[in-house]
Amino acid sequence: MKIIGKAFLIFATLFNCPFLNAQNTEVKTPPMGYMTWNYYGLNIHENDIKMIADIMVESGLKDLGYNYIFIDDGWQGGRDNKNNIIPDPQKFPSGMKSLVDYVHGKGLKIGIYSDAAPLTCGGYTGSLHFEEQDAKTFAEWGFDYLKYDYCGAPDNRETAIERYTKMSNALKKTGRNITLGICEWGDRSPWLWAEKAGGTLWRTTADIRDKWKSIEKAENAKDLHRTGAGILDILNINADLDEYAKIGAWNDPDMLVVGLHGKPGAPSTDLGGVGCTDVEYRSQMSLWCLMAAPLMITCDLQNMSKETVNILMNKDIIAINQDAAGKQAKRIIKTSDWQVFLKELSDGDYALGVLNTGEKENTIDINLKEIGISGKIKAKDLWSKKTFGIRKKISVKAAPHETKVYRLSQQKR
């Protein structure tokens, strides 16, 4: 058997066998980039994508790791007379291959969107029963990523697994490395099956809205589709799923709403999405980085405020997200006013996140020994950039809805 296996390996290598060129879904750190949905909605154009690519390079976002552009719903123009899916000729007059080449020419990767049903969430052409044909088309265009939605599909888990597996297999068959992002909003507990179905990341909650939390109480996670999920609502679901995150398999709590500020007409303004304060946006960035979440910007890149730039381009915070260990932080304290997260990093350091969920400024003392840290510690506040020494406890003062993040290192003797 070993001899036959080696012979097959040599044969496949020499003759470029698609089996060996199958999709490599391992993404060693959480994907970072720009997702069109919460800013552009269905109104996207190829010139928007080119502009985004230009700004990501010129602003330095690409150098910080934001190396994807994800085209969301609304790009489709139906099917041709051979049932090949085609882009809307008004929105993408140059064609997708030309656009992909432009983005790749900037040193960036690019993703596309479809749905595991006849129609997408926006009512455009989906991929059900055309999985192999569409996967082949996406590969020929040169796409690197597929966000695969679930609007219009049956509620049961078995069908979801079947449809996502079918698309994953179709992508693998193309021979191109196309990462699959599963987007069924956590309703069927995808953290239990999505990796096996071929997903590299999976949405864990309802769509995020541009707000701190739902005003109306949600009875359960699915009820957030009705009440609208804010940053805190999503945190409270995703934080409990740390055991399922690892290198190449990521919990996805949806996009960053940082910098949207309640943009009129944006999908994120639905269900009470009136915008957040910069403190709340900074908390989302902090918490998403602690949770090893994909970082998908979705604001107006041409008109970012200084504070938005500072939030999205904080190298120290991004380093926590992109840490090579690939671990999601554990929530080690949860009270009515505080949530505390601890994340073990690849170099032996720890990231400590402290969120004040209350409505007034408050202070918490954290005993290091009680959270498993001993010795003389150097702490760096990753937002203020101040460093200080601690031995037994750290005292954290935080404004309402503020998250403080510290990198804790053992001081050398």
Residue 191's closest CA among 160, 168, 169? 160
* C-alpha 197: how far from chain center: 18
74 vs 357: CA distance, rounded Å: 37
Catalytic status, residue 187 = no
Q: Is the Cα dihedral 346, 255, 70, 118 positive or negative? A: positive
Cβ atoms 139, 174 nearer than 8 A: yes
Question: Angle at Cα 327 formed by Cα 347 and Cα 382, nearest 5°?
Answer: 60
Amino acid making up residue 39: Y
Cβ atoms 331, 240 nearer than 8 A: yes
Cβ atoms 38, 264 nearer than 8 A: no
262 CB-near residues (< 8 Å, 6+ apart): 210, 269, 273, 274, 275
Cβ atoms 397, 360 nearer than 8 A: no
Catalytic status, residue 54 = no
Sole residue written with tokens 């993040």: 405
Inter-CA distances, 402 with 220, 234, 259, 351, Å: 25, 16, 16, 16
Instruction: Spot the catalytic one: 72, 73, 115, 149.
Output: 149
Strand ranges (E), 170-325? 179-183, 201-203, 250-252, 295-297
154 CB-near residues (< 8 Å, 6+ apart): 160
Instruction: Spot the catalytic one: 72, 134, 207, 233.
Output: 207
Known catalytic residues are 149, 207
